[in-house]
Amino acid sequence: MSYKAITKHGHPNARANGTILEHVFLMSEMLGRALTDLEVVHHRDEDKRNNHPSNLQLFATQAEHVSYHSTKRAKEKALLESGNAEFLKCPFCKEYDDPPNMAVRKTGRAGYHRKCNALWSNTRNETKRQESKFNEPT
C-alpha cells in the first residue's frame, strides 16, 4: 500500500518533476493554499488510498500527528481490555480505572492510583531501611 501521486506542474507542494501526493494536493485545494513543510495530512480511516475529502485531516506538525495516533491506539487498547476507551491503566496494580479515581498525568493518557503509588513508595522505603540497617557499623 502506498500513497497515490498525481502530476501538477508548478504546484508549490509538487516535487521538481511535477508529482505531488494526491492527498496533499486535495488538502491544499480544500484550504485554498499550499501546505507548509511542517503540516501533515492524515487519513482518518488509516487507508492511504482513500483520498475522499472527508477522510483527510490536517495536522500542524508531525509531532501532533504522531501523538494523535498514539492516543488513538491507547484508547483502542483500553476499550479492548477494559471495555471503556477513556479508562487508564494503573502501572502499579495493572488494573484499568476511571480517570477521576486516579492521579492523571498532564498528557491525560497516563494515570495511577494514589493508593497504589503510596503502597509502592512504602515498599521502597522499607527496602532502604533494611539496607541501611545492614550497612550499620558493628
Q: Which is nearer to Zn ion, 3 or 12 (CB)?
A: 3
List of residues contacting Zn ion (CB under 5 A): 42, 90, 92-93, 113, 116
Least distance CB 94 / Zn ion (angstroms): 8
Q: Which is nearer to Zn ion, 78 or 90 (CB)?
A: 90
Least distance CB 134 / Zn ion (angstroms): 30
Given a contact cutoff of 8 angstroms between Cβ atoms, the answer to whether 49 and 4 are in contact is yes
Amino acid at 24: V
Q: Which is nearer to Zn ion, 8 or 65 (CB)?
A: 65
What are the backbone dihedrals phi and psi of residue 74, each rounded to the nearest 5 degrees, phi first? Answer: -60, -40
Least distance CB 29 / Zn ion (angstroms): 19
Least distance CB 83 / Zn ion (angstroms): 17
Task: Report the SS3 class of residue 135.
Answer: helix
Rounded (to 5) percent helix, strand, coil in the chain: 45, 15, 40
What are the backbone dihedrals phi and psi of residue 39, each rounded to the nearest 5 degrees, phi first? Answer: -70, 145
Q: Which is nearer to Zn ion, 20 or 41 (CB)?
A: 41
